Structure 1
């Protein structure tokens, strides 16, 4: 069926599976193309791996300002950091294919590596201009042999417009139905040909702004929830404005009188002080140019600059630390003075001796903690491509990327000054140590800290990160002989590549010395590595146009990489594509990929973090598997104390002795085109990662579980990693990077596309397209200890402190679009399946014993209307989350905001309006 211009335009807006009907028809209009996932030029658009493409029209009609929001809607991706990632978060936006980690997904722009924005090598999607996109290609199933290290899960390739002519202004504004959280942007694109059409240059500039929403602005997130008595109740932190002394279980009223701490009634609700949507201001400028030097040589270049500011805001500093207190301190009542003096008597020392206490104090008088990340990213690329003769061509380029990240931390508390200011004279009028202008600090009751004391203990920090990447690549591609049984020649590629990555993170002296209470302390991270690589690909048409074998093609790729830090490693891939008849295509592939450890994994200076975790020795967490004798041996009686906080401090850091990860990926797919306008793609994938790089045991929660419930050996590295406080609570768990065990995942992708002309509509005709994309997750298993293969964390269909964000077994979305003349109506339906608390699958805990055993399945509906007002002016209006779907409230097994904010919509319905005008 020959499509008219209307049907072709609408089809371009569909999420495309591998080998769709329209792609093959488009292939007749080009001589040779390069498909993402391979460097070989060919006359078809068939991919050797599971492949999805998102066109620029999809971004336009969906009203997405940030590209990561659209990618997060794909069933093949697991939402990573984004606009609601406040804590944890770092201001970046990321993509995570198959849930294997964003650092195992390679992000490309025009088929080439882009600007790394973190020391893990992750690309911040905030640096990629959404309006300039031609399409986004997603290849899953491993691609290290073609694109190098990191591509264990696959690649995301952003194809940019590089031949624009004219001037175009595009703008987008959206706002929630609550009237908050507005997002705005305006883009200017200018381009044109020069030198009698031998060259073209495009310049693009964009400004965007996103307003903040606080957790207190929504009912479901306004109170930090916890689990108690079989229900969700208001919880929070034991670091409270009135101060909690853990040693005596005492807190204080505003007048300094002491009383017993009531748990959880006295806990501090930190939720309202946290962002639910992070504000952002971003400026981008990009340019693309090419010029035909001769018939056989085209020079091309790219330039990009991104300035991005994203703050985070957290509740005031929770000061958990050991202090020395003068028992005669006048800030608390006589009853507590007597209690402290009695402690000295019991210890056999003078009654006036300072007493050591472990306290939790929420420093509300100091204001909310603020972290502002400002990232300035720059990239320049220059290359030459062309034809050697009719059969061979070449492409060579050099790129240089640099990112400078300045991180400002405000309203933290200096630990040393906090302790100094608490040890006061008997009259409370002065510090016992008056150095540095010490002012007495009264934490004994809410609201009692003077401004002089705040000025003395308040500290800010400035941290600098610098990241540089250089890439040189050269390749030749061409055709060899044609086999007697085929019509097309054998295609090959040979190439070399050199890559150098180096970065430094230099924390403020307060952070590096650990002299902070509210932000995570950390040491400097400085390191670099380089890789010299050779690669090749071959595509062999074995049989074509025979009975029962319409086509049979063998594809293969290999890459040898010599890393300065780990030595030589090899990746390879092969795929067989078979079409018994024209409407049926079958493919099978195997890839062995590698990922070299990145700078952060190798050289990360030791730093602190506070992940959610359960202490097996704490009340409510003791199970039949818990070794209670081991709890006693490590200094605590099982079940005798309540866990102070749902977050437990971990010590993280790099390991220069890490080796590469290795993954084996098997894919098998069938694409059927039973009729004009309909194609169905079914793909199975199985990915296995050996020697996976992770923290010891897979995380703080895993280490605690392994120590007390699995290994049960006090001399094991897991038990040795745990340090406890005198009150029984875990003080810190040391989890440095290791090559740990195994990660295995498998699933099935089903993609269906249908498009047809209709005999009604404006001017008597219209076009209807329906796209359905889905993933069914069969397995996601983590074996954190190679020596304990029987110890497996089963995460398919689960969420929680072990498995992290929900890995639903079944996710799908469907885009339905009807277009006639200048009018386009479209609806996107997204379905996220239910998931269970991971303790059900991994700890034999019954669902009936949990307060929130399951996160319900959620359905989202987005609606949009587009209208071409004229040949120059296009308008789009729509509503996202039209059903006002809210997430399931969670207690202790949440990430933040009583949910997993990157997975679920948090802000309710939001309206958007976009307009595009192109000048003649």
Structure 2
């Protein structure tokens, strides 16, 4: 009798708790709970199998991905499966080397990872960075029961950060027995292996009043370098009408900018191995940095989790969740490019006589008789730069839930999440020591400033730096980040005594309170903090915290049911009132109407006003330097006749006569970025309207229109936008954008400052169209019948526009159907994926077809270039086919085998508008066909 009652209560409790966090499902949940209470365990099982998917019943568009999809697709890392969905924009993942930070993230609707809230079992998960973003590496795929994805603003229900939507991972937390699972994955070229091994064991105790589950996991991913694939082995650039080998102007022989004229009339551009003078030839003189970069980042991960619950009485239970994840992900870049100004002794023995004479005849020696030059030296003798991120994440949660009476339940929990990250930087170069060591005596045997044990460094010619000189300038750094988040939440959910005259179900309510505290600190190594670095971005400490007190409520009002043209008509609403310690009071609201005129068709209309509070990184980020791709409007490549202000270019440091004529030294321009404690919240308006049609058994389709507008979006002007606004829009030397630009003596931009501001406007809209079809056949293999399941998901992107500075509404970045340095990763106007499963007996054959539509270079939408002027004006559409098979060998053993990208679809090559590896490696497959084999063995 207790077992029967316990299961009844468990189901009721789980559903009632779900109603508090997934309000869209409340009406069905209440009804199901009442049926369960009346009819017992057998009825629970039958009713449970008939509950419709939330994709069909939710008033806000929702996508479900079950555990089978992860298993049959062979995805070791969670983010790879999510990145395949048309409603997401691929973000950081296994190929995110530069840019990248060792995390794997999800970006709903392409609105930014910080605007996507990631939860586990309906509760906030461990932040991996100071911006609060969750690293999906901490969520093992083998432990996932299913994933629910709600797109669009949802902060009224879930709190801050849910402007783009919510991704909720429901984990296995009630398990009996022992289960081992493993996966091995390798490319058809025998490299880039992936491996994982997981163990899950659990059981009941105390006469089945409690259950405990323990999970242990290990995974490893091997490195693959860009040099291991032909398409990425050479850094490409655009020249004329073709892609040609390019690279960096920081070269092993040293690039000298504005060098003297040699005896033969050529300008000194670089140096041969014996110090002889050589001209600079574009683009053949550039350094190919590609082979030293990872195409697949290595990874090693250890995971341990425990879930337990215990029924103190039939009505009340306590529960706990404990997780620990250690994740190590290195990044590797080409050797340090030392771009700096040095003094050169023209009489140094490092130079050939011809070069010595050129320096002496230049007429540009300073008072000390030295030549001052801005140089670019690739420190190949110092080895590749390494950035090794190790994250130790820990989370503990303790809660109690139960029933107050037959109609009302409660749930109270406290969680504490902690992350300790160590970032080791190897093979960097000290700027001060490099400058000191470069100025030597005439013989080149001693530094002119011998302090600190200075060792002369011969940078003039490839391979000329001695090991002693390397040891003198080489530095490393150890940077530490600590993130802590505490959450306390209490809510009650239930049904009221009131039922409207035309309805069959009572009004449901949820009331709750949540308190959250976020704090974090980043403390850089002294070398990094001082800025005395040449190979990695300098940075300052980032330390800060904030807290919030939030009250929330939801209401579900069944209006009509079982009536003509109103099989179901219900209203839903939610509100959240929050008081933040840093920005004060904010509110968010939501409302929806669900109308089903018949049993086979229903409509849903929803509106949500959501907010996102600025995070610790946005508020307190210490100034740090980065090198994004950007175009200087004053240079030959960026100048627009009749648009760019020539006088302003000269007033800000471009020598007279060079505006529109000088070549930009590098495609990347240094920027200084930082936080702003005066930031206010972002706000968004989300409107959705959809139709759910179920014309026959086994067939349903959904059509949902969405429109999201984010105001006061937090962003920095960015290097490219700052330059463009200053010279092409504001055209005022006193404008803040112009004040943030400094130039070198040769006219090139040396630094652009850009702090976070509430300056942006983001608008996106489109249509999601999904079809699910299930049917059974009399034919099959092994004397069995068979069944077919087809699931088609697609998104038509009608609009994605960014106005970086709302005060300049004419400066709109149109990104729907575009890619490039402004829009970033491709945003096709149409994307889809189709999963086809055919099951006969114990065998399931499966195919996944992914389609990514074509996109154009965003320079076309900006009007800065025409298609004819670009080497690659368009990225063609791509179709990827994955095939797999699953077989149930026995009740205990299940195996999966598959091939991803079986058609060997290769990425289309790009030049200057790429992200990395001559493409966008998180969007397009860069490995070729991959084979995977996985298995699960379970025993009691």
Q: Are 1:490 and 2:507 counterparts?
A: yes
CA distance in 2, matches of 1:591, 1:827: 37
What is the rounded CA distance, in whole Å, between the counterparts of 2:541 and 2:453 in structure 1?
Answer: 30
Query: 1:353 and 2:338 equivalent?
Result: no
* Match status 1:34 vs 2:18: yes
Note the 1:682-761 alignment, pairs <5 A.
Answer: 682-696=703-717, 699-761=718-780
Matched, 1:897 2:917: yes
Cα distance between partner residues in 1 of 2:875 and 2:659: 30
1:745–1:464 CA distance, 2 compared to 1 (3 A): same
Q: 2:207 aligns with which of 192, 196, 216?
A: 196
User: Which secondary structure state, in structure 1, belongs to the residue aligned with residue 141 of structure 2?
Assistant: coil
What is aligned with 1:663?
A: 684
Q: Post-superposition shift, 1:704?
A: 1.5
In 1, Cα distance between the equivalents of 2:422 and 2:102?
A: 12
Is residue 16–residue 409 contact of structure 2 (8 Å, CA) maintained in 1? no
575, 582, 588: which one aligns with 1:558: 575
Return 37-46 or 241-250, whichever deviates more: 37-46
Partner of 1:426: 442
Displacement of 1:741 after TM fit?
2.5
TM superposition score normalised by structure 2: 0.93
Matched residue, 1:132: 143
| Bigger shift: residues 248-257 or 515-524 | 248-257
8 Å contact kept, 2:517–2:546: yes
Deviation at 1:261, TM superposition (A): 1.1
Q: Map 1:28-107; keep pairs closer than 5 Å.
A: 34=18, 37-38=22-23, 40=26, 41-43=29-31, 45=54, 46-107=57-118
Aligned residue in 1 for 2:795 = 775
User: In the TM superposition, what is the alpha-carbon distance from 1:413 to its structure 2 partner?
Assistant: 0.2
For the pair 1:171 / 2:156, whether they are aligned, the reply is no
Mapped partners of 2:442, 2:157: distance in 1: 72
Matches of 1:32 and 1:379, distance apart in 2: 25
Deviation at 1:789, TM superposition (A): 1.3
Aligned to 1:525: 542
CA distance in 1 between partners of 2:633 and 2:535 (Å): 26
CA distance in 2, matches of 1:911, 1:628: 57
**What residue number does 1:541 align with?**
558
Tell me, which stretches of 5 or more residues in structure 1 are unaligned? 1-26
CA offset at residue 616 of structure 1?
A: 1.6
Moved more, 100-109 or 645-654: 645-654
Structure 1 residues 504-538: Cα deviation after superposition (integer angstroms, max 9, x where no partner): 00000000000000000000000000000000000
- How far apart in 2 are the matches of 1:742 and 1:29? 42
Task: Give the drift of 1:728.
Answer: 1.8
Show the 5 A alignment for 1:827-906.
827-843=847-863, 845-906=865-926
Q: Which residue of 1 aligns with 2:319?
A: 300
Secondary structure in 1 matching 2:848 = strand
Using the alignment, how far apart are the partners of 1:408 and 1:30 within structure 2? 44
Q: 1:599, 1:883 → 2: CA distance?
A: 45
CA contact (8 A) 1:612 1:895 kept: no
How far apart in 2 are the matches of 1:690 and 1:339? Answer: 58
SS at match of 1:331: coil
- In structure 2, relative to structure 1, the CA distance for the partners of 1:414 and 1:346 (3 Å cut) is closer
The answer on whether the counterparts of 2:441 and 2:447 sit within 8 Å (CA) in structure 1 is yes
Equivalent position of 2:697 in the other structure: 676
**Cα offsets for 1:124-146 (capped at 9, x unmatched):** 00001210110000000111000
* Secondary structure at 1:115 match in 2: coil
Query: Residues of 2 paired with 1:63 and 1:140: CA distance?
Result: 25
For residues 252 and 741 of structure 1, what CA distance do their matches in structure 2 show?
Answer: 46
Paired residues of 2:547 and 2:581 also in contact (CA < 8 A): yes
Q: 1:28 to 1:816 in 2, by over 3 A?
A: farther
In 2 relative to 1, CA 733–543 (structure 1 residues): closer, same or farther, beyond 3 Å?
same
C-alpha contact 1:521 1:607 (8 A) present in aligned 2: yes
> 2:351 — aligned with what?
332
1:612 aligns with 2:632: no
CA contact (8 A) 1:34 1:42 kept: no
For 2:126, what is the secondary structure of its paired residue?
Answer: coil
Match of 1:241 among 252, 258, 268: 252
Structure 1 counterpart SS, 2:597: strand
The answer on whether the counterparts of 1:51 and 1:139 sit within 8 Å (CA) in structure 2 is yes
SS at match of 1:741: strand
Range with bigger deviation, 633-642 or 428-437: 633-642
Aligned to 2:639: 622
Q: Distance in 1 between matches of 2:112 and 2:15?
A: 37
Identify the residue that residue 254 of structure 1 maps to in structure 2: 273
Contact 2:30–2:495, Cα closer than 8 Å, also in 1: no
CA drift of 1:645 comes to 1.5
Residue aligning to 2:263: none
Q: Give unmatched runs, 5+ long, in structure 2.
A: 1-10, 32-50, 260-267
Q: For residue 603 of structure 1, what is the aligned residue in structure 2?
A: 620
User: Secondary structure of 2:650's match?
Assistant: helix
Q: Distance in 2 between matches of 1:242 and 1:436?
A: 26
Q: Aligned partners of 1:721 and 1:796: how far apart in 2?
A: 30
Contact 2:784/2:841, CA 8 A, preserved across alignment? no
SS of alignment partner, residue 107 of structure 1: strand
Deviation at 1:541, TM superposition (A): 0.3
Q: Which structure 2 residues correspond to residues 135-150 of structure 1 after superposition, within 5 A?
A: 135-150=146-161
TM-score, structure 1 as length reference: 0.95
Partners of 2:16 and 2:494 within 8 A in 1: no
What residue is the counterpart of 1:219 in the other structure? Answer: 230
Does the 8 Å CA contact 1:303/1:379 hold for their aligned counterparts? yes
Alignment of 1:633 onto 2:621: no
Which stretch shifts more, 49-58 or 329-338? 329-338
Q: Does 1:792 align with 2:812?
A: yes
> How large is the RMSD of aligned CA atoms in angstroms?
1.5
Deviation at 1:339?
A: 2.5
Deviation at 1:639, TM superposition (A): 2.5
Q: CA deviation at 1:411?
A: 0.3
For residue 426 of structure 2, give the secondary structure of its aligned residue in structure 1: strand
SS at match of 1:145: helix
Hey, what's the Cα distance between the residues in 1 that align with 2:12 and 2:705? Answer: 29
Contact (CA 8 Å) 1:37, 1:49: kept in 2 or not? no
Q: Matched residue of 1:692: which SS?
A: strand
**Mapped contact 1:37–1:48 kept (Cα < 8 A):** no
Asked if 1:439 is matched to 2:451, the reply is no
Runs of 4 or more, structure 1, over 4 Å off, are 27-33
User: Could you give the per-residue CA deviations for residues 159-191 of structure 1, whole angstroms, max 9, x where no partner exists?
Assistant: 001111100100000000010000000000000
Alignment-derived partner of residue 373 in structure 1: 389
Deviation of the 1:844 alpha carbon? 5.1
